[in-house]
Chain A
Amino acid sequence: KAGVTQTPRYLIKTRGQQVTLSCSPISGHRSVSWYQQTPGQGLQFLFEYFSETQRNKGNFPGRFSGRQFSNSRSEMNVSTLELGDSALYLCASSPRVAGAEEQFFGPGTRLTVL
């Protein structure tokens, strides 16, 4: 089975711009979660989607949004980029059935905001 794929792998943007990141989960997985990783704050939860529904959202401003499509693929969007948004954005997929909470991460998208 192919793993979680994320595109693009690297992205450079300037302040004020917006960005869309994409994630394709492992085949058969219906849950997709997004995390932000920075040296200062570590790994922080952004949001989780299951069957196109957002079930939880982390403590991030409204500039961060996401969605999930009927094929389980997911996108996240960050509007009005700030320097502090520079981070590795990780997507994780999970079968999310009872007793299967395992989350498998993709390689991430490295976002640099100048």
Chain B
Amino acid sequence: GENVEQHPSTLSVQEGDSAVIKCTYSDSASNYFPWYKQELGKGPQLIIDIRSNVGEKKDQRIAVTLNKTAKHFSLHITETQPEDSAVYFCAEYNDYKLSFGAGTTVTVRA
């Protein structure tokens, strides 16, 4: 997505370690930030999201943080497992559309 930068593009972690993916956005009007996980041959799956009035949200092993002042948000996956291997996309929502980052390929090594 032209308005969303996502880093890193690839990430390899040892099973049990943490993974962190960072995104920055440019449109200050954006107020909703979802994260998607896409496995091979499937459509993107919504895994967690955060709204602009919240700084942090957690759901079991995944968490998302948002810094509206700096216009960046991050995905944290703890205690990674082999099934976490996939492509992860961040996105911002504005004007009825999602703008996506370029994606991060996460590989969890056993």
Interface residues of A (CB under 8 A from B): 4, 31, 33, 35, 42-45, 48, 50, 55-56, 58, 90, 92, 99, 101-108
Contact = CB atoms under 8 A, between A and B. Distances in A.
B43 A42 contact: no
B46 A101 contact: no
Given A42-B100, A43-B100, A90-B44, A102 B34 contact: yes
Contact of A42 (B45, B96, B97, B103): B103
Interface of B, secondary structure class, is: strand
A114 to B, nearest CB: 21
B103 A48 contact: no
Nearest to B100: A43
Nearest to B42: A107
B83 interface: no
B98 A105 contact: no
Contact of A106 (B43, B46, B103): B43
Residue with the greatest number of chain A CB neighbours at <10 A, chosen from B42, B97, B102? B97
Contacts of A103: 34, 46, 98
A108 B96 contact: no
B97 A58 contact: yes
Interface in B68-110: 89, 91, 93, 95-103
Given A90-B44, A102-B49, A48 B34 contact: no
B97 A56 contact: yes
B104 to A, nearest CB: 12
